[in-house]
Structure formats: structure tokens, C-alpha cells
Amino acid sequence: MGDLLGDPVQAVRELGDRIVHVHFKDVPAVGSYDCVAIGQGIVDVPGVIGELQACGYDGWLSSEVETGGHDPTEDILSSVEMIRRLWNG
């Protein structure tokens, strides 16, 4: 297997039908532990979802949006909407 740590699209491609759960988290920069709304950071969310669909994944999708000292409601809602929109095409 190749280097799965830096490229989530490649990780999904290589792991394929061995994936049992997907937990999305987006970050603003490489090495950052800060969390942003899904789709607002550097993670190729459309690419990950495309690969999940290509390998036939039909399990749960979860997302993580940390509070970071603010009310995360809007970030959570926009994250869920983005994942649903991308999944449903």
C-alpha cells in the first residue's frame, strides 16, 4: 500500500471494500488540528465521496466540527448539507 496518511482520496481507493466507517473532518492547512466546516478546508471532500461511491461503500458517514470557542451550529448544518449534496449528486 502507498502512503495513506496524506491523501484521503488515495486511502479510500486503496482500502476500498475494507472500509467500515467514514468520519469526515476538514482542516484549514496541512498539519493543522483546527477544524472547519466540511468543504471549507483543504480536504478533497468531493474526491473522497466519489471514491467511496466507486468502491460501493454504503455504510455510515459521520462528521466532526469542533466548537473552537464559537457556536458550531451553522458549520454543522453546512457540513451535513455538503455531504448529502455530494453523495446524492
Task: Tell me the residue range of the domain where 51 lies.
Answer: 8-88
- Quote the cell numbers at residue 64: 466532526
How many residues make up the chain in this entry? 89
Q: What is the pLDDT along the chain (89 residues), one digit of tens a residue?
A: 445 557 999 999 999 999 999 999 999 998 888 889 999 999 999 999 999 999 999 999 999 888 778 899 999 999 999 999 999 98
Q: Which contacts (CB < 8 Å, 24+ apart) does range 29-34 have?
A: 34/66, 34/68
Residue 82 lies in a domain: yes
Residue 3 lies in a domain: no
* Helices 8-15 and 45-54, packing angle to 10 deg: 10
Residue 40 lies in a domain: yes
The pTM of the full predicted model, rounded to 2 decimals, is: 0.87
Burial class, 35, CB count within 10 angstroms (exposed 0-12 / middle 13-18 / buried 19+): buried
Q: How many domains does the chain have?
A: 1
